Amino acid sequence: MNPAERPGESAPDAPVDLVIQASQLSAQAIAAFVREFPAAPMQRKPGSVRLSRIGPASQVSLRVADLAAHWRCDATLLARPLALAWFRVLALDMDSTLIRNECIDELAELAGVGPQVAAITEAAMRGQIADYAQSLRQRVALLAGADASLLQTVAEQRLRITPGAERLLQTARQAGLRTLLVTGGFAYFARILQQKLGIDVVRANELQVRDGRLTGVVLGPAGRPGGLVDAQGKAAALRQACAESGCGTPLNCSSSV
């Protein structure tokens, strides 16, 4: 966002808007939110609903979070109207965001080590492996010896772009935004998506390949074993993109992989 064009901040007790969305947003989920905020005007689009001025965020955030968890949908509170003209950079994650699946899971399944990779992922989610880079290295190590052609197989047969992503990127380009795909996943797939979707910049990790096979080693964007893109790497990439676009440093810039 360009600070010079940012409008005045909303008061802490000002009513907020609520946007709920999901790839398959059910009528039952929508009805549940409407029952919770019956006086809020509603705007409906394919896959999303906006309820206006539902109340101060401090009073509604817990109820919204509970409903979103129950109905398995995304719910975002917007403190004030937003316009694309206020922004200069659109940053996107890849796995389970720009695309609907996880590339390492697809590779692991084809390589015959799906359950082992899933077990490490579950351990990381339970907090037993606190460091993302460590969990990624452990999962990639299980791919050692797999034919590198599996990368092409996943790219051609298994990448599922999230509905609405192409329209989002097209709108961002038309508004003059710089687009950044930054991921703790793999550059092989990120570059394919970059070409297909017209993304300006990609920052991702590299899978090492030798003699036509995966070595089980993952490297950072510059080929450095110690420079993997993790949460801090994503934040650094966003700060760099903002600096290059002349929109200043984002406040409280952080990320979870």
Catalytic site positions: 93, 95
3-state secondary structure of 162: coil
Amino acid type, 65: A
Contact in structure between 50 and 21 (CB atoms under 8 Å): no
Q: How many other C-beta atoms lie within 10 A of the C-beta of residue 205? A: 23
Write out the two tokens for 210: 């030798």
b (16+ CB within 10 A) / e for 42-69: eeeeeebbbbbebbbbeebeebbeebbe
What whole-number distance in Å separates Cα of residue 216 and Cα of residue 54?
50
